[in-house]
A and B are shown apart, each in its own frame.
Chain A
Amino acid sequence: MTDRFPGYDVLSKRASPSWNDKTREVVDRRLATPPDQHRFFNEDEWRTLKALCDRIIPQRSEGLPAPLAAMIDEKVFDQKTDGYRDARLPPLGEAWRRGLAALEAEAQAGHARAFYDLSAGEQDALLRAAQKGLGGHDAWGDMPAKLFFEKRAVHDIVAAYYAHPNAWSEIGFGGPAAPRGYVRMDADRRDPWEASEARPGREKQARRENLRVGRY
């Protein structure tokens, strides 16, 4: 994938007037999540979860990846629920536990190996079956596999990814607009503390502007 915001690092705004103490505190806490910390899931569930996260959002090998599995574990452990849920799904923690166990059971039934030991292609095939509601293992219980895939797995993993500053830098997002928001609101206008997009032909200019974002 080409770098659309070359040289842009949202964390360079950390000391600028864009962020205040509260913003820094929240973002610091998010960055401090240890990638291997799991207090809710047991070892087997943890490995399945990590393999699942890698398939939903494969991350580039270079740079620091967002610790998605640890962020999910933290969310479930701290009971940071969304405030809404499809009533056909069990509560947050139980849905995750049962869904991971069912994926593991499907892997054992189909390949006689653990889900996390399967190849990426084999994992994808199982996940596609779940997405289409074709996974028929008893381990799913009364929880529809399709719902778990769409409203739990994809929902939580994607939300975790885009809650991480690394993802913000990737998509040119400025992070929290507190206390400083934006001034130039019209289409295709840019405040100097915003990421600059490298449209074809202006890659160098974009990099130069992105390296200066933290100075404003």
Chain B
Amino acid sequence: MRRQPLRELADDLAEGVTLAPPRKPTLLSFPSRNRRIEVANAAGRQLNLSAAILALSVLADSGVEHYRGSFRNRTMYAPLGVAALTLGGSLFGVFDRRPERHAARDGVYALAALTGLIGLGFHAYNVSKRPGRLSWHNLFYGAPIGAPFALVLSGLLGRGAEKVRDNAAGEAKVLGFPAGRLLAAVSSLGLFGTIGEAGLLHYRGAFQNPAMLLPVSLPPVAAALVGAQAIKPSSSRFAGAWLTLTAALGFAGVCFHMLGVHRGNGGWRNWRQNVLNGPPIPAPPSFTGLALAGLAALSLMAEEKDD
């Protein structure tokens, strides 16, 4: 009997996550090469999923925000096209059970990272050309500096996913570093960047709802723990728990932001104003994407340590 693809995916991903806690190798449980290939495949696909979530976040967020900016500059269409492409490629990667990397996906991820970098330049220029230049006001109300960074991260994590898939767990190296450790570092830095963005905008919102403190209190712990793992790998159970919490926070954030839109004058009926002026609904899942990447990195590192 054929299993449902989604069900299969859920099983595989659950496997990837539950493999995260490291096990001391004994003679009996010493991981076979086959198992390592399976771990790498699950982790790689989970990284594809991270890239997909980040790409979806960028697609929806830049779609809303650039529509608000009336696509004044033609290049404002670019992140929509590239993020859609990245999302498609990533979903293909998530459902693709073959272990190897895919050249097209790899290419799309490179394009995503490049587009994100160019976007950072455009956004920095937008802020700096406003009267008052680099001021709190312009950081609050100009083009968000951190937003294109999510597309860079989607590309980087996707590149990582492809690299990881191509090797047995513990064998992939990127720039001479073990892939797991490097991805843990990327996840940590990405989380810190996202925390900075959320912190800036929640500060702009005067933390009027106590829940606005959550993204500047929970994810920093996860980011610090997974960052510490990248520097000096040790027991990752604690880091895994915080990352799971951070991943859940991304979903909770969407709900809180929808509530925020509801609270605007006119509520959801006035969505044309409130979705644009209210809290960005597609932004919080960035935490989910980066936390999933961190979890995948931990599962890879568990194998790296076995060497």
Chain A interfacial positions (CB closer than 8 Å to B): 17, 20, 178-184, 189-193, 216
Contact = CB atoms under 8 A, between A and B. Distances in A.
B68 A184 contact: yes
Nearest to A192: B272
A17 B70 contact: no
- The secondary structure that dominates the B interface is helix
Contact of B277 (A178, A183, A189, A190): A183
B270 A17 contact: yes
B265 A216 contact: no
Given A17-B269, A183-B276, A192-B272, 19 more contacts: A17-B266, A17-B271, A17-B272, A178-B265, A179-B265, A179-B266, A180-B265, A180-B270, A180-B272, A180-B273, A181-B273, A183-B68, A183-B272, A183-B273, A183-B277, A184-B68, A184-B69, A190-B70, A216-B272
Given A179-B266, A180-B265, A193 B68 contact: no
A20 B70 CA distance: 26
Contacts of A17: 266, 269-273
Interface residues of B, number: 13
B70 A189 contact: yes
Nearest to A190: B70
A181 B270 CA distance: 9
A184 B272 contact: no
Interface of B: 68-70, 72, 265-266, 269-273, 276-277
Contacts of A216: 272
Closest 3 CB pairs between A and B? A179-B266, A179-B265, A183-B276
B266 A180 contact: yes
Given A17-B266, A20-B266, A182 B273 contact: yes
Contacts of A191: 272-273
B265 A184 contact: no
Nearest to B267: A179
A193 B271 CA distance: 13
Contacts of B269: 17
A191 B274 CA distance: 13
A142 to B, nearest CB: 48
A181 B276 CA distance: 12
Nearest to B68: A183
Contacts of A190: 70
Nearest to B130: A186
Contact of B265 (A181, A189, A192, A193): A181
Contacts of B272: 17, 180, 183, 191-193, 216
Contacts of B277: 183
A189 B68 CA distance: 10
A159 to B, nearest CB: 26
B134 to A, nearest CB: 18
Nearest to A189: B70
Nearest to B268: A17
Contacts of B266: 17, 20, 179-180
Contacts of A179: 265-266, 270
A190 B70 CA distance: 9
A155 to B, nearest CB: 32
A11 B46 CA distance: 54
Contacts of A192: 272
